[in-house]
Structure 1
Amino acid sequence: MTSPSSSSPPSTSRPPRAGRQLADLGPVEQLRAGRLVPRLSLLLVGLFLYGASMALVVRSVLGLIPWDVLHVGLQQHVPLSFGTVVVAVSVLVLLLWVPLRQKPGLGTLANAFLIGPSADLVLAVLPQTEDLGWRVVLLVAGIVLNGVATGMYIGSQFGPGPRDGLMTGLARVSGRSIRLVRTLLEVTVVAVGWLLGGVVGVGTVLYALAIGPLAHVFLPLFTVDLPPRDRAT
């Protein structure tokens, strides 16, 4: 990084747009931050697409998203649909927020209760296929769509989903890095899900490798600018 110099004209120095940064807002502040129509639209579309992306990966039968390994594993032992299990696990994860003193936002609650029904809806209209080429397409499309949906729902500035909030809460309380906590958390849910009968495969590995870079690309694209004066309050 070069140091500022008096010989450099002001116009050549362009600081990053602060409005593109994710704001650290409480639940009430999230609603008062403004631009509710575009933010709510982004949140709801993003959550629908998130559930749809999960369904695409499930239908690929080439390995599941880490948390979905747990969801499918649990589904083998209860008379519930995939989406219902997703909602139930979300509620249980939210209960773990209490000792961590995490504050749920509108996006947190919407995530908990909407992505499961969205996944069930897409699974109902998307048939199973034995064609390997089509299954690969479903897997890749599902992972990319998941990255897009992640950028949309987080970029709406309504707070993290239950699982992301658990990760950040554990990192804060333990003093460990987000990377370490996320890795340990996802390894744990994959292991438990696999033992319960969930499917682990190339899709699980591909998702783990791709979701970080995809979120890095799409999150800045979809993050809604908030007025600085609102975010500073």
Structure 2
Amino acid sequence: MRRNVPLVPLTPREQLRAGRLPLRLSQLMVGLVLYGVAMGMLVRSTLGLDPWDVFHDGVQKLTGLSFGTVVILTGVAVLAFWVPLRQWPGVGTVANTVVIGLATDATLALLTAPESLLWRWVLLLGGIVVNGAAGAIYIGSQLGPGPRDGLMTGLAQRTGLSIRLVRTSLELTVLAAGWLLGGVVGLGTVLYALLIGPTIQFFLPLVTVDISERAEQLRAQRRGSALESEGEGEDGVGPGPSQEAPGHGEGPARVDDVVDEEDRPACCGQR
């Protein structure tokens, strides 16, 4: 029977206070390192990359920087767009920006592109599976989304457009830009798009850390503080701002619901 663990919307501070922190931090780092390994495998397959990595590959060829350095710099640049969108990075967001790029460079330094087409396919398919598992592992730590996910959800909130439309538009934009810059587009790009959602959907319920009980206590405290602030405002003291987690609604989403609704959750696989 598959576990039904909720992905809980929390502010960055609440993420750190939601309990089981040593386990969640360890899981976060394992997931991010594996994600970088998967990216290195996909690059060495030379059979096509996912849209963001097509962009990273194109920028690398244009600038001469290492692939991992481009990943890190792109993450930092994307985070700058969080400010006008009123998104707040968590520990996982900051770690995501740095660790994946370093792990990718380390993998590329150790792994060479095989001449055999068979082994290139092994790298491609293995990279997609590892990528999906790694994405589920770090998302399941519930310590904040990656920079690109926050950009996507922030744009959806500010424009009123659906997550699906915003995500598709972003990925098509970076894919086109990367292709124009010389990034590798191939059959692997199509397979990644088709397989990454089901792969994450399979792994996410298995690895999500259950923090729902403590998270509900924190959310109740937040709502109570907001009500007190509103009451003070009515008494002439002045209203206080709501402390609802940026970009999230009131109730926790079940892992299966999140994945099934969008095929790949808003926080999944985008870094």
Question: Normalising by the residue count of structure 1, what TM-score does the alignment of the two structures yield?
Answer: 0.90
Give the distance between the partners of 1:83 and 1:230, measured in 2 at CA.
34
1:202 aligns with 2:176: no
Could you list the runs of 4 or more consecutive aligned residues of structure 1 that deviate by over 3 angstroms after TM superposition?
229-232
Count the aligned residue pairs: 216
Amino acid at match of 1:40: L
Residue 127 of structure 2 corresponds to which residue in structure 1?
142
Residue 166 of structure 1 corresponds to which residue in structure 2?
151
CA contact 2:113–2:120 (8 Å) conserved in 1:
no
SS of 1:99 mapped into structure 2: helix
Of 101, 106, 111, which residue of structure 1 is paired with 2:86? 101
Deviation, 1:109, is 0.4
Residue 218 of structure 1 corresponds to which residue in structure 2?
203
Deviation, 1:110, is 0.3
Residue 65 of structure 1 corresponds to which residue in structure 2?
50
Residue 83 of structure 1 corresponds to which residue in structure 2?
68
Give the distance between the partners of 2:72 and 2:65, measured in 1 at CA.
11
SS of 1:123 mapped into structure 2: helix
Question: Structure 1 regions of 5+ residues with no counterpart?
Answer: 1-15
1:157 aligns with 2:142: yes
Give the distance between the partners of 1:30 and 1:90, measured in 2 at CA.
21
Q: What do residues 205-232 of structure 1 show as CA deviations (whole Å, max 9, x unaligned)?
A: 1111111111111111111001513334
Residue 121 of structure 1 corresponds to which residue in structure 2?
106
Residue 34 of structure 2 corresponds to which residue in structure 1?
49
1:74 aligns with 2:59: yes
Q: CA RMSD in A?
A: 1.1
Of 112, 120, 127, which residue of structure 1 is paired with 2:97? 112
Amino acid at match of 1:212: G
Residue 7 of structure 1 corresponds to which residue in structure 2?
none
In percent, how many aligned pairs have the same letter? 62
Give the distance between the partners of 1:230 and 1:60, measured in 2 at CA.
41
Question: Structure 2 regions of 5+ residues with no counterpart?
Answer: 219-271
